[in-house]
Structure 1
Amino acid sequence: MKKTDTHPLYRALYRILRPLARLLLRNGIPFSEFAELVKRAYVEAALEDFSDDRRKPTDSRAAVMTGLTRKEVKRQRELLAAEPSGNQQEPRAGRASRVVAGWVHDEAFQTGDGVPAVLPFDGALSFTELVRRYSGDMTPRAVLDELLRVGVVAVDPDSGRIELRSRAYVPAGDSAELLQYFGEDVSDLVTTVDHNLVASESGRTPLFQRTLTYNNIPPEVISRWRAHAASQSQALLEQLDCWLGPHDRDISGQRREGDTGQSVRTGLSIFYFEEPLQPDDPERGR
């Protein structure tokens, strides 16, 4: 019996790779290109995540860890060094999302009872001012067009004032932005799983990770369940956003007493799934 048939991690990896292979094939990415990316990720992890702080990581040590040749490690390391840094311009989706977050949390753009105000396009405390504070160098017109495209805002045809219709920016019909979210969401999930697998032996507190699953639901229930799950999930995320959002320095604009200046990226992801099961599907009954 092969090791890949019995090792729990290998079985878990295959379940991850199967839908990933479908996504890659649908988008015309052959195995050779995927394998090249895997090599690069292995080398980067070996050099950065498993480095000894007392010594500079070497190609030889990375080669031993990854199973690649030193020549291949060197080639991948040079490719990594040539890639743009992580400080490149923030994608449009991120900046549009920050504009919405600023509108929701910044008291200057709210009514007296804390509701996001209906804003004029120009002038003091306008949509233009909101964009200037929270979107970097995106123009107000470009942000407005994007938020209109995804249905987050509406413009009154008579007054031209802009109303926030949704607290959440979700890309619509833009595969590049959806793939950006895909990369972030899956990366965050795998990072959480990796943390939890070693949490007990490293003395760290496990991170929250839960899934609700049933595998014998009648098809006629699904449309109602899909709508219910979406509305309840959105309500939960909005409640959590009300708690966490004001602590973000970009929104509060404040440094509290004892603030070290360091930053932590944190959040919570919720996603919905469904798939038809055949009568002899091994998932049935699990």
Structure 2
Amino acid sequence: MNKANPLHQALSRILRPLARLLLRNGIPYGEFAELLKRAYVEAALEDFPDGRRRPTDSRAAVMTGLTRKEVKRQREILTGEDAGARDVLHTNRASRVVSGWVHDAVFQARDGEPAMLAFDGPGSFSELVKRYSGDMPPRAVLDELLRVGVVSVDAESGGLVLKQRAYVPAGDSAEMLQIFGEDVSDLIATIDHNLVSDESGQGPLFQRTLTYDNIPPEVMESWRKHAAAQSQVLLEQLDTWLGPHDRDISGQQPGSVSGDSVRTGVSIFFFEEPSGRVR
């Protein structure tokens, strides 16, 4: 591998933490390589159209370096996944419940803040779950929100209190790994869009990072708390603006006069490591 290639250098930085996560979760190289083949085939077939012609296995084989037989095999797997296993919501159901609690007037107090909810009855937590989480049992959703500290139980009334305006699961749970896939995918897609925005005629998307590499360690605890607090304030301000436009909140139906739905958002993440460390 040519170490002077900027893309190779960037990939090395990306793949090291990815390999660490894969090894921690018991994913060997062969399994990752199989998934990588599938991603190459999917990108070749879906993201690089040749004019108006449907992409062929032969063209995908030329682009990816895989054999036509392997491209066909991966395409058939992808077709099967599209019919079932890959049909998942972008947004975790528990997160949708929290969003509904924050934005839906039915579940707000008079001051517009999320109300304390009873578990059952009109305007209750159970009704909230039914509206925003489909067929999930309300008790299961509540147990999860209690587990991660998003909800607490009022000691006097027994009512349910929303403590945080965002649901973030802990550890390498299925929900956290789903967020990992979405967040990293979104970041790479934004960077890719910006790399070719001049050629495509589309404007760049917002992408900024604040970085310093000579911060004394005694500052870090205060910095972590300050960064988290200010980031939370910004995200809540953005959520206040954007949330009411979500069709699940507004009641507007997909495919209406305004067109098909769009998935959009802003991600903020904190990082720290010893200065000069090679990932």
Tell me the TM-score normalised to structure 1 length.
Answer: 0.91
Residues paired across the two proteins, number: 277
- Paired letter, 2:195: L
Deviation string, structure 1 residues 191-226 (Cα, Å, up to 9, x no partner): 000000000111101000000000010111111101
CA deviations over 1:66-103 (Å, ceiling 9, x no partner): 11111111111111122254763548x71111111011
Q: 2:31 aligns with which of 15, 33, 37?
A: 33
1:227-242 residue pairs with structure 2 within 5 A? 227-242=225-240
Q: CA deviation at 1:181?
A: 1.0
Distance 1:217 1:107, change over 3 A: same
Aligned partner letter, 2:188:
V
Given the alignment, which residue of 132, 135, 142 partners 2:133? 135
Q: Which AA in structure 2 matches 1:176?
A: A
AA of the residue aligned to 2:33? A
Unaligned runs of 5+ in 2: none
Question: Compared with structure 1, are the counterparts of its residues 208 and 33 closer, same or farther at alpha carbon in structure 2 (3 Å cutoff)?
Answer: same
What is residue 161 of structure 2 aligned with on the other side? Answer: 163
Match of 1:66 among 37, 50, 64: 64
For structure 1, the 5+ residue unaligned runs are none
* Correspondence 1:222-261 to 2 at 5 A: 222-254=220-252, 259-261=257-259
Letter in structure 1 aligned against 2:60: A
Aligned partner of residue 267 in structure 1, secondary structure:
coil
Q: What per-residue deviation string (whole Å, max 9, x for no partner) do you get for residues 211-269 of structure 1?
A: 0000010111111101111111011100000000000000111369x833301100011
Q: For 1:19 and 1:227, how far apart are their aligned partners in 2?
A: 24
Give the match's secondary structure for 2:196: helix
Larger mean CA deviation between 215-224 and 29-38 belongs to 29-38
Name 1:221's counterpart in structure 2: 219
Partner secondary structure for residue 149 of structure 2: coil
Shift of 1:10: 1.5
Alpha-carbon distance change, 234 to 276 in structure 1, aligned in 2, over 3 angstroms: same
In 2 relative to 1, CA 89–20 (structure 1 residues): closer, same or farther, beyond 3 Å? closer
Aligned partners of 1:66, 1:245: CA distance in 2, in Å? 40
TM-score by length of 2: 0.93
The residue correspondences of 1:157-196 to structure 2 (distance < 5 A) are: 157-173=155-171, 175-196=173-194
Looking at structure 1, the residues matched to 117 and 184 of structure 2 have their Cα atoms a distance apart, in angstroms, of: 36
CA distance in 2, matches of 1:192, 1:89: 22
| CA distance in structure 2 between the aligned counterparts of 1:35 and 1:255, rounded to whole angstroms | 41
